[in-house]
Amino acid sequence: MGWRAGYGSGAFAVTAPLEADNEVMAAKLKPTVPSIPASGRGMFRPGWIGRLRHYFSIYLLLWRNSVVREMSFKSNFLMWIVVEMLWFSLQLVFVDVLYRHTDHIATWTKWEVVMLMGGSHFIQMIFSAFFLSNCVQLSEHIRSGKLDFMLLLPVNTRFLVSLRQVDLGGFVNAGTGLVIMAFAANKLHWTPTWGQALGFLALSAASVTIHYSLMLLISSVSFWTVRAQGIVWGYYNLFSLARLPDEAFRGLFKAFFTFAVPMLLVANVPVKWLLNRLGSPWEMALLWFASLWFLFLSELAWRFALRHYTSASS
């Protein structure tokens, strides 16, 4: 059993009892309904700024909901943080064991790889905080017919599906990633400049977008297979590539996971920028391009899936 197997099922298990809150959310969303006129959205709402503000206020409500939710399962919340830390430390143990028998993997030294692991963890956890459980739950929404209900709400359904819950533990875990990075930077006797730190954050944002778009793409398959568990679980396996130095890979494998499924870009490029070891600026361009491209692809897939959606239950 790969650890992803357990992890994947875990994500299901932890979200299951929270489903009961759906009615609460509906009640909270309802007051916003009258604020949107039934016809001519553009007429009353002054342009995209007004709509942005409107969506922002909805998102604030969703945040508040998530906080309330997490606080009512406090021990669970803490346990999941412990679990994530355990898994993260296992990866670090792996690096430690590898470097007992070698002093470099390709050209990467031990603490550079630890830096990469920390960066990868940070990006992955920010992604989990905002999107992961939402994407995973999509198949459940389809199976139980809750998606019908969401389609009826006067908000963009993709917005609601993608951002409904915020996983606060993800932020704590992302913090762990940063701490490990700081520790590794200290070991490397090296302080990043402001430009490097900000660039790292900007590139991480692109990486989070790639993770999210790919995950939504994969989850969309559940419009047809209903039980997408195996596929979602597969994504966790892909994730595990991100934390390894891209130089270790060759040939078709490297090409595939750089261009088709850019797992070898998402953590490598931001951390390489941070460590000042980017081969060429094209790597950054590629990461940005990939994030836009996959965002576009996921929107296409989402629209296609919705067009072919016939309610599973009613």
Partner 1 sequence: MSKYWHVVRIGIQNTLVYRFNFLARAAFTLVPLMATIYVWRTIYEGRESSVLGYTLGKMVSYYLLALLVDTFTAVTDDDWQVASDIKDGNINQFLLKPMDYLTYRFCLFGAGRLIYAIAALLPLGLFFLWHRAELYLPAAGSTYAWFLLSLALAGLLQFLISYIMALMAFWVLEVSTLIILLYGLEYAASGHLFPLDILPPLAQSLIMWTPFPYEVFLPVSIYLEQVSRVNLVQGIAIQCLWVAIMYGVARWVWQRGIRRYSAVGG
Distance CA(134)–CA(162), nearest Å, equals 5
Which is closer to partner 1, CB of 55 or CB of 249?
249
Residue 107: partners with Cβ closer than 8 Å, 6 or more residues away = 247
**Tally of CB atoms within 10 A around 52:** 11
C-alpha distance from residue 178 to each of 61, 173, 195 (Å): 28, 9, 17
Cα dihedral across residues 241, 245, 249, 253: positive or negative: positive
Which is closer to partner 1, CB of 1 or CB of 43?
1
- CB of residue 245 vs partner 1: minimum separation in angstroms? 8
- CB of residue 203 vs partner 1: minimum separation in angstroms? 22
- CB of residue 202 vs partner 1: minimum separation in angstroms? 27
Say whether 169 sits in a helix, a strand or coil: helix
Which is closer to partner 1, CB of 163 or CB of 231?
231
In contact, 298 and 231? CB cutoff 8 Å? no
User: In this structure, what token pair is assigned to residue 293?
Assistant: 């491209």
Distance CA(96)–CA(94), nearest Å, equals 5
Which is closer to partner 1, CB of 105 or CB of 278?
105
- CB of residue 75 vs partner 1: minimum separation in angstroms? 8
Residues in the chain, how many?
314
Q: What backbone torsions phi and psi does residue 22 show, to the nearest 5 degrees?
A: -55, -40
Distance CA(228)–CA(94), nearest Å, equals 30
Which is closer to partner 1, CB of 62 or CB of 119?
119
Which is closer to partner 1, CB of 189 or CB of 250?
250
Which is closer to partner 1, CB of 239 or CB of 302?
239
In contact, 235 and 215? CB cutoff 8 Å? yes
In contact, 261 and 217? CB cutoff 8 Å? no
Q: What does the binding site for partner 1 look like in residue numbers (CB under 8 A)?
A: 1-3, 5-7, 9-10, 13-14, 75-76, 79-80, 82-83, 86-87, 90, 93-94, 97-98, 100-102, 104-106, 225, 227, 229-231, 233-234, 237-238, 240-241, 244, 247-250, 253
- CB of residue 240 vs partner 1: minimum separation in angstroms? 5
